[in-house]
Structure formats: C-alpha cells, structure tokens
Structure 1
Amino acid sequence: MSMVIQTESGASFHFGGKKHMNLSVAELVEEALRKNEAVLTHEGALRALTGPFTGRSPKDKYTVNDPSVTNFIDWGSVNQPMDPEKFEQIWTRLQSYLRDKEVYIFDGFAGADPTYRLPIRVINEYAWHNLFVRQLFIRPTEEELAGHKPEFTVVCAPGFKADPSVDGTRSETVIAVSFERKLVIIAGTQYAGEMKKSIFSVMNYLLPDQGVLPMHCSANVGKDGDVALFFGLSGTGKTTLSADPERLLIGDDEHGWSDRGVFNFEGGCYAKCIGLSREKEPQIWEAIRFGTVLENVVLDQHRKPDFHDNTLTENTRAAYPVDFIPGAVIPGVAGHPNVILFLTADAFGVLPPISKLTPEQAMYHFLSGYTSKLAGTERGVTEPEATFSTCFGAPFLPRPAHVYAEMLGKKIAEHQVDVYLVNTGWTGGPYGVGERMNLGYTRAMVRAAINRELSQVKYTVDPIFGLAMPLECPGVPAELLNPRNTWKNTDEYDQKAKELAERFHQHFAKFPDVSAAVKAAGPKL
C-alpha cells in the first residue's frame, strides 16, 4: 500500500514499500540483524561497517542556492552552492529509488530547550542508521509524538548514487540541504555522522535569527550549577573531557546559548573510541552496551571489540543516548557558562598545555579555530594535519564567521566568562617526534580551570604567542606547563613556534574588519 508523507514545506514522499515508523531500540536492532546490516558484540552493542566512507565527505556537501538564503550564506569551499533545479532532479530520482524499498522513519527533535527546538523527521534506507538517529537526537514522549509535525526532514539512502555528469556533483556522493524545501538529502555514503552534522548545520543557520548562539562544543555542569563549555573539532577531546565523573554531562558536541542559558541540541553522544580503555574513559567504556551503535570497530573471534585496532579507520565511533552517562542532565538544559575551554590538538607541539586568554585573545582564537584534523575524521586524512577551522566548527557554519564571533564576544562580556586555550595535541616535539599530551594531566588542568584554582596562581607570558601560562597547576609537573621546556632542542622549538605563528597570521588575514585590539591579540612575528 502506497504511503505519502508530507513535510512542512509541502514536499511529498511517495513510498510503496514497507514503512517502519518510530521503532523501539530492540525492534531496530532486530531489523538490522535480519537484514545483515550489522552484528551484535559480546556485550550487546550493534557493530556496523560503513565501507569506504569512514568519515565525513565535506567536498560532497552542498547548500541549495535558494532565493531566500542566497544573501545570508557564506558561499565557498565549505558552503558549496547547488542550483535548485539540480537539487530537484536529484530529489525526483531519489524518490523513485526509494519508492518500493523498505524504509525506517524516526520523528524527534533537535534542541533540548522547547522554546528553540526543531521538530525533525529522518527517513532511512538502513535500519542501523535509524537506530543511530534515534539514539543521537532527542526522543519525543508519546504525547509529543502524537502531535509531532516535522519542520525539517532528512532522507538518507546510501544505495542511491548521484550522477556527476548530470547533477553537477563532484562524485556519486551527495549531501545537500535546501532551506526552502526544509529537506536534507544524503546519498552515496554509509557514514552515519553525515545525518547528525547536517542537522547541526541547519541549526547553525536557523538559531542566530532567534538570538541563540549555536556552538560546536560539549558542556557539563558542577553540583553548584557552574557550567563549562569545551569547544573543539573532532578528536580534540570534547567528548572525553566533558565526560567527567565529578560533573554532570549536558552534552558532548552541539549546544545553543540563549538568553536563558545553554542547551544541548542532541539526545546522545558520538564518541571517538580508538584507544578507548576502561581506566582512562570509564564513563564512555560503560556506555557501550545494548542500544549503542559502534561504527567500524574491529571485533575478535568472540565479537569482543578491539578499540586499539585501527585497521578499518582511526575514526572508530560509538553512538549512545546521553543518559547512558551516569548523572547526565535530562533534559540537557543549564545556566550560563562560567568557563570556556578552546581545545586544540596542536600537531606542531608548541602551544602551552593550558593558557588563560584575554577577551581579545578569546576572539582571536575563536576566529582562528586552530587545531589538527586527526586521522580518519575526514576522507583522505591519514595523519594529523594543521588546520584552521573558524569558530572551531567551520565545516558546519552556513553563515559568515563574524555572525557567530560577535555573538560569542557579547555573551562572554555579559556573563564575565573565563576563557582558556587547552592543547590536547603534542608536547616535546611535533607529531612524529613528541608525544600526545597526557590525558590525566589535561584533566587536572581542566578541573583546575573550572574550579577557579588557576585564578590563584602566577603566570608567565609566552614571547611569541602572547599566551599567559600558569607557573603551577595542581596535579601537573611544573616543567610541562611551558612547552619550550619539553623540547630537547630549544632552537628547533623556536623555529616551529615561528612557523605556526606565521600560519596564524596568514589565516587571520581573512578577517580584515576585526578591531585592531583583536588583531593585536595574535602571535608576534
């Protein structure tokens, strides 16, 4: 029997195959196993493989150049334009492809604050993808489900291929969002993270008009209500550092900051799990159980995960509901932040493990967004690559950077927020020579910042980067706090530091209109 699904924008989906609406976790697991999409691990998690696509495909991501948005999008390599006619022809063929197929449908929300949440619908070709979105987005109550009217729809069909010669795409893979259609198309890739990040991009476009700053950050809160935000790209430690047994988790990746405080966009976590151990990350370890989706994790003959095996990818992942973390804040809403931490995985090995930023430096480093792309997070990245990702989330920001930066600057000033730069990357030398920052020491520094212990110590200023480095920190050897002391050859450190400083200046030339004070807050050449 044919079924027509109508969206808020008037787009119609015509499906003649079997439809599975809002299945439970157990039902979706059974469906994935029935269709041989995945296998169960020894403790009940569902392990799926994503084939050749083990990370996002940013070069295949498009925004439809609809008349209503054309003047508000920051067009370029991140937001590649697609003609509305091309989108419509892809959409027409995609509907034909799905017409007689079995599909799985999830209705839920993005945004834990009811004032700003976005009702969404996700339609999947794969059952395990539908389990993924069920665990990652916000699950409605029965009452909410009864009255659910999706305002944005995601259709994910990995088996459908775009035709570059006809569609004008770069490859057979396409991730395209139409704000007029209120529709996202994902095709030609099995990597589940594309669904999560597509809705994040949608929220990043919609919320600034409502006075809400969308942020690529994790967030937690102490027992006294003190909120901390952790900005950073994939692999820099957002999920790991925010999952702190001493604090309550609000969310691990995407949040909004309104006039009322911070709220999670999601209802789940998407943790990198390469090298995962019970000792270092006990909360994430315990979250991997029935209902969790593992991506590209190698299993032994008894289906026990080997989290140290990177044969398939460095970007192994675990997706689970946020309430799998003990004491998670449900719903994910809290007050205004007291502390912000910018996380950077410095592959040069020259930035301090922690430094306190002035308001001007905070704006400089937010606009810079310096970090390293870590292996596996994007297709083709096999080892750390130094990169600048504006606002620590450039791949997901449809609007110009200044829109987000100005909102952050105002909120930092209004709420008197302390801001720190934390290097979770390399020390003692660059990638290949030095070693990755000790997680235990990083946790100690982060806790000292959040607990205001670093407000009581003396600082010294780095001569090149101008960063205020604490001379002491509880639980951390003092000699590690100045990165120059960790290198065997200080001349080589100075050379690398100058090289990175030059890269900062080259990138910041993209922002000619910022104030002189913010420009002066960067490294000294």
Structure 2
Amino acid sequence: MNSLHIPNELNQLLDEKNVQIQLSVPQLVEKVLSRNEGTLTSSGAISVATGKYTGRSPHDKFIVAEGSTKDKIDWGNNQPISEEAFTNLYNKVLDYLKTKEEIFVFKGFAGADKKSRLPIQVVNEYAWHNLFAHQLFIRPNAEELLAHETGFTVISAPNFKANPAVDGTKSETFIIISFERRTVLIGGTEYAGEMKKSIFSVMNYLLPENNILSMHCSANVGQEGDVALFFGLSGTGKTTLSADPNRKLIGDDEHGWSSNGVFNIEGGCYAKTISLTREKEPQIFDAIRFGTVLENVITNPETRIPDYDDNTLTENTRAAYPIQAIDNIIEPSIAGHPNTIVFLTADAFGVLPPIAKLTKEQAMYHFLSGYTSKLAGTERGITSPQATFSTCFGAPFLPLPAKRYAEMLGEKILEHGANVFLVNTGWTGGEYGVGNRMKLSYTRAMVQAALEGELNHVETVQDKIFGLHIPLHIAGVPDEVLQPNKTWSDAHAYELKAKELAEQFRQNFKKFSSAASDIEEKGGPIA
C-alpha cells in the first residue's frame, strides 16, 4: 500500500496551490469559522449542521464491481456499480474540486497496530470535515508523516451532486468504494460519519485478507491486562457498560483482532450526544472541548451553550473528538487477546435471560444474528416491539460474506479460550409495556462477574427454548431474575412469547442456512 495507488489525476489536484495539507486543529478551527462552516460553542467545540442528511445513506452506498474483487464481495449485502460509472463520477468530482478556493487534506492511519495499519489520506471540500477526519482517524507524528505513503484515499465533496440518470447512482448522493483504485468517493451529503464508516468498510475487507478479524465493538482492558469486547446495536448499553472507571478504554466502536491481540482501528470517538449530561456520561461530556466537532447539536445563540436535549435537527446528534480527550485510556490503543466477549441485546419481548454463557457455536449463531429490538414510537409505524437483526452487529459495513467473519470469530474463541456471554439489557417480567427494564445495577453486577471470571465454571441451567446456559447464582442479583420464565406472572404467556421470538431468529437465519446450517443446528434455538 503506497503512493503508487494514487491516480495521476488526483496527484495533479493535490499539487494545486489551493490545497491545504495537514493543518493543525487550531488552524482548521480558524478555517471553519472564517469560512462560516460552523460556530464556536462555550466549551470551544465547533458546532455544525449537516443539512438534509443527518445520518448515513445506506441506499446510496456502492462498491465498484472490479475484476480482482467482484468474486469476493457479498453482493446480497452490497450494491455494485460499474467501473465506467465510477471513473466518470471520479473525474467529475476532481474537476469540481479544482474550482474551489481551498481544499483540505489529512494524512493519517486506520489501525493502531503498526504491523497492520492502513495509511490513509482524506481530501475534503469542507474544513470541518477535515477537522472531523483529524479527530476520528489516527494522527501521525512528524516522523510518520514524513514517511507516510497513502494506501487508501477518501475524497469528500458534499456540494457535488450526482445525476442518477447519467451517473448510475440512485440519488444525488453517493458513497462509492473502489478497492482497485484504493479510493472512497463521497458526494451529495454533508454527514461526516460517511467517511468514518467507509474506512471501516474498507478495513472489513482488507483485514480478513490478512487473517485479522475486523469487529464493530467497543473494547477495554483491566488492571491485570484482561481484555473485554462489547458488541451491541444502538440502545443496548454498549457505551455505558464499556466505560468502566476500573478498566482502560481501548476504543469505543471499531477494532481488529490479530495474532498479536486487539487493536483500535480509529484514533477518536464519534459519540451520540442526545440527552447527554455530565452525571450520566461524564467521560463523553468532559471530552467535548476545543477542537471537538458537534454535529447537529442546537446551541444557544447568545451563551453558545449546547442544548443536548434539543432534537430539532435529529435524534442522531454527535460529538467527534480524539480518544486522548478521555482520561481512562490505554495508549497506544492495543492490548492482548480477549478473555471475555459480551454480546449485548435489549430484548423488548422480555424472554431472553439477563446473562447466559455461550458455546462457541452459540456465539457464532448470535454473532451472525446480531439481535436487538426496536421499540414502539422509535420509528413511524412501529406500534409494538419488533425484532431487528444486524449481521455481526454491523451488517451495512461488511463487504465479505458474513460467514467469513463468524468463522474467524469461532476460530479465535477456540484458539484463545475466550468466554462469550449474551447479556440482555432489555425487559424482564413481561414484554415492553408490561414488564420492566432490567436494572442497570443488576446488569453491571452480571457483567462484572463475567469480566472477573466468576461465571466461567458456575452451575448453569439450560433454557428450554433458546438452549442458552443460564447461571443459577450471581452475587448482587436475585436468583429469580436470572431465569426469565420465573419473572413472568403467566408461565404460558412467557412460553408463547419466547417461541415467537425463537421463530423470528429462525426466519432471519434462513439467509445463512445453506452456508451455515451447522452453526444453526448447534447454536440456534432448540424449541
């Protein structure tokens, strides 16, 4: 991966006098303010609005169908676009950027492990996008910058809009990955998260090629060097449970697991800020300081104080800051092999146990399933809890067939003796609207017991429907809470609801059945 991958057209653009390369955070903040791209808040953070798009545009994401890669891509999970369409759009975007008074370039890395990191460069129309890249990716020191040879380039031109009839896109917006050209091309959207997640998608392709498992999870390490991974979709408590004052954060979202251990793919955090308070999440609150990028957060025009409860623009308000803004971290962001892996789910049906120990096959099954539930009122048209599944807890970012990632996880669990647990942070004693949300104090006690190895050899009982192995006793948690069938007042109603969810697991898993029938047989529901 070197500069030879950079096409000549791009080299010509980057030689122009209007190119600002590797500006510092203060310089970028000055640019953002002078160009009226954002405003300064009371904490020194930059506040910006992303316009029409306040989240990712998954239907506008493509991978170029190229000779060397097209047979490897899972086209059932990814949209192809032709090489011709990509080349034409690429040239149009470069011509467009040549007309700008300034463009901004960041050079850095994806991957904290120097043996497998990817040197990247990010080319931006907006100064605040370049500031975002500076905060989210790994920043080089002076020596590393001098030796930097780009392995992948992100080009982001938010104000360039595609013509679907001509350009082969579905709308004015496009996020296109070309693995042969080593390029991500983004246009028609100001949402900065597209840059972050595109590089994650790239790493999800490149790392497995080197026998490194890429993972959408948070990770931390204990005082004895014991490593824990936390997988979970939005609303399951991943951020809350991985932020432990007694453990150091490796990273909050994207990791690789190599033969050396776990490493953070990123150099920063992209935290949700809706309803943020210092009392609830002090680490995130205090990380929002000079240089942080606040996306779509409404601020008081006079005091410049952010109102984190205001969802006028979106519920998906965000803060982008370097991981060094958090005190309790490990540097560099690398550690050993995981001792404990936690899959988090917020089961609104109230039938999954609050914690269960998984066999290797069950771990692979629940990894492929990636289950949680959407609640009534969270989306238009949802009037009761609905099961939702995201393969490997990150379906939109997986270029390769899902079974590839699951098999790698199974191999690494077996090789390194990691213990895997399914933790339900959702409902108990009945489904949403009838039962109650699991007490956070109980969940913390269960996770703590798992992390400290107390559950590795405890007596368990097997759930009769899901086949999960449930501990009978955990200090600080009432025994009856551990078995969901005992928390329901109506045992028959519990069984009906549990079988209903088990059937939804089976229906979802049909897309893997031909390739992963062995995993389903050994790891799926048993009734």
Q: With the length of structure 2 as denominator, give the TM-score of the two structures.
A: 0.92
Does the C-alpha gap of structure 1 residues 304 and 252 become closer, same or farther in structure 2, counting only changes over 3 Å? same
The answer on whether the counterparts of 2:161 and 2:187 sit within 8 Å (CA) in structure 1 is yes
Q: Offset at 1:491?
A: 4.3
Partner of 1:112: 112
**In the alignment, is residue 10 of structure 1 matched against residue 7 of structure 2?**
yes
| Partner of residue 450, structure 1 | 451
| TM-superposition CA deviations, 1:410-446 (whole Å, max 9, x none) | 1100111100011233444445555544444333322
In the superposition, relative to structure 1, how do residues 281 and 161 fare at CA in structure 2: closer, same or farther (>3 Å)?
A: same
**1:30/1:425 Cα in 2 relative to 1: closer, same or farther (>3 Å)?**
farther
CA distance in 2, matches of 1:376, 1:387: 15
CA pair 58-381 structure 1, distance change in 2 beyond 3 A: farther
Partners of 2:403 and 2:515 within 8 A in 1: no
Q: How do 1:52-451 and structure 2 match up within 5 A? A: 52-76=52-76, 78-101=77-100, 102-301=102-301, 302-372=303-373, 386-431=387-432, 434=435, 436-451=437-452
1:487 Cα deviation from its structure 2 partner:
4.6
**C-alpha distance in structure 1 between counterparts of 2:375 and 2:251, whole Å:** 22
**Structure-1 separation of matches of 2:437 and 2:275:** 13
Contact 1:270 1:317 in 2 (8 A): yes
Q: Matched residue of 2:504: which SS?
A: helix
CA deviations on 1:479-510 (whole Å, 9 max, x unpaired) are 43333445565544433322211111112222
* Residues 177 and 184 in structure 1, CA contact (< 8 A), matched pair in contact too: yes
Alignment correspondent of 1:523: 525
1:256-300 Cα deviation digits (max 9, x unpaired): 111111111111111222232322322222212222222222324
- The 8 Å contact of residues 109 and 117 in structure 2, kept in 1 or not, is answered as yes
The count of corresponding residues between Structure 1 and Structure 2 is: 520
Q: Partners of 2:391 and 2:459 in 1: how far apart?
A: 31
Query: For structure 1, which segment, 455-464 or 86-95, has the greater mean C-alpha deviation from structure 2 after superposition?
Result: 455-464
| Deviation per residue, 1:436-479 (Å, 9 max, x gap) | 44444333322221011233643333222122223333344444
- Contact 2:274/2:310, CA 8 A, preserved across alignment: yes
| d(CA) in 2 for partners of 1:380, 1:297 | 26
| SS of the residue 2:312 aligns to | coil
Amino acid aligned to 2:274: I
C-alpha contact 1:56 1:377 (8 A) present in aligned 2: no
Q: Does the CA-based 8 Å contact 1:348-1:500 persist in structure 2? A: yes
Q: Hey, what's the Cα distance between the residues in 2 that align with 1:384 and 1:97?
A: 46
- CA distances 1:379-423 after superposition (whole Å, capped 9, x unpaired): 999997532222111111111112111111111001111000112
TM-score, structure 1 length as denominator? 0.92
Contact 2:3 2:150 (C-alpha < 8 Å) held by counterparts: no
Distance 2:54 2:75 in 1: 26
CA RMSD of aligned residues (A): 2.6
Distance 1:128 1:208, change over 3 A: same
Which amino acid in 2 is paired with 1:523? P
Can you give the 5+ residue segments of structure 2 that lack an aligned partner in the other structure? none
Tell me if the contact between 1:471 and 1:481 (Cα under 8 Å) persists in the aligned partners.
yes
Is residue 348–residue 375 contact of structure 2 (8 Å, CA) maintained in 1? no
Deviations 1:154-213 (A, max 9, x none): 011111111111122111111000001100011111111110110011111111121111
Stretch of structure 1 that moved more, 265-274 or 481-490? 481-490
What pairs up with 1:494-509 in 2 under 5 angstroms? 494-509=495-510
State the Cα deviation string for residues 339-374 of structure 1 (Å, max 9, x = none): 001122334333222211112211111111112468
Deviation at 1:46, TM superposition (A): 1.7
How far apart, in 1, do the equivalents of 2:91 and 2:374 lie?
36
Verify the 8 A CA contact 1:17 1:100 in the aligned structure 2: no
Deviates more, 1:231-240 or 1:37-46: 231-240
Q: Report deviation, 1:31.
A: 1.3
Letter in 2 for 1:499: E
Distance 1:516 1:209, change over 3 A: closer
Q: Alpha carbons of 1:492 and 1:54: their partners in 2 closer, same or farther (altered >3 Å)?
A: farther
Q: What is the DSSP-based 3-state SS (H/G/I as helix, E as strand, rest coil) of the residue aligned with 2:241?
A: helix
Q: Which amino acid aligns with 2:350?
A: G
SS at match of 1:241: helix
Could you tell me which runs of 5 or more consecutive residues in structure 1 were left unpaired when the two chains were aligned.
none
Report the identity percentage. Answer: 63
CA distance in 2, matches of 1:507, 1:359: 20
CA deviation after TM superposition for structure 1 residue 29, in Å:
1.4
Greater Cα offset, 381-390 or 510-519: 381-390
Deviation at 1:244, TM superposition (A): 1.2
In 2 relative to 1, CA 505–253 (structure 1 residues): closer, same or farther, beyond 3 Å? same
Query: C-alpha offsets along residues 46-95 of structure 1, whole Å, 9 cap, x if unaligned?
Result: 2221123121111111000010101100002x310000101111111111
Retained in 2: the 8 A contact 1:343–1:421? yes
| Distance (Å, rounded) in 2 between the aligned partners of 1:29 and 1:107 | 17
Kindly provide the CA deviation profile for residues 100-124 of structure 1, in whole angstroms up to 9, marking residues without a partner as x.
2121110000011111000000011
